[in-house]
Amino acid sequence: MRASQEFSDYLRALARRRRDDPRDDLVSALAAVEGLSEDELIGTCVLLLNAGHEATVNVTGNGWRALLQHPEQLARLREDPGLVGPAVEELMRFDTPLQMFERWVLEDIEVRGVPIPRGSEVALLFGSANHDPAVFADPERLDLRRTENPHISFGAGIHYCLGAPLARIELIASFGALLAKAPGLRLEREPVWKPGYVIRGLERLEVSV
């Protein structure tokens, strides 16, 4: 909570500086939007950081860890670079970067016989859903050629990730570039995970080229 407040204070001060002295950056552009309150600006910056940066970084780290620990799949991808699109989808499913989202229940509902009253907070385990054996054949197997892959790493419904198309473009480009430029990439030691369970990602991934 302290870190959250300090970050909000930092963004608030930065927005005020950019409003008085605009630069060629996103905060300056947001500060110039008429009708956007400071709280809304801060919320937008936090959303962009968490969704636009953290998630993509963690898909990259988690994805390369999975590939390097499944050399037969990595070899298949190197043999067929055109597979990178489906590979990105499978890597997001296999090691989901955002494991859990919380939502507030707006109306009394019932889910599979379980009543959930209005005002409840529910935790949605995306990582678990992406390994549901009722949806995915052999869900614990990394399969870059998986054809039926309705993963929910980007969410669903009205909460579906607004940046999903951009994220896919970024990930396909970055995985494709590294595949081409570092064909001998290999894992040097077991990766170190960040603490926590909501965002799943690595502190570091040590490789050699």
pLDDT tens, residue by residue, 2-29: 988 999 999 999 999 999 999 999 899 9
pTM of this structure:
0.80
Residues 94 and 24 in one domain: no
Residues 74 and 166 in one domain: yes
Query: Could you please report the per-residue DSSP string of 99-157?
Result: -EEEEE--S-EEETTEEE-TT-EEEEEHHHHTT-TTTSSSTTS--TT-S-----TT--G
Residues 20 and 118 in one domain: no
pLDDT tens, residue by residue, 35-87: 999 999 998 888 888 777 888 999 999 999 999 999 999 999 999 999 999 99
State how many domains the chain has: 2
Tell me which H or E stretch contains 187: strand 186-187
Residues 184 and 142 in one domain: yes
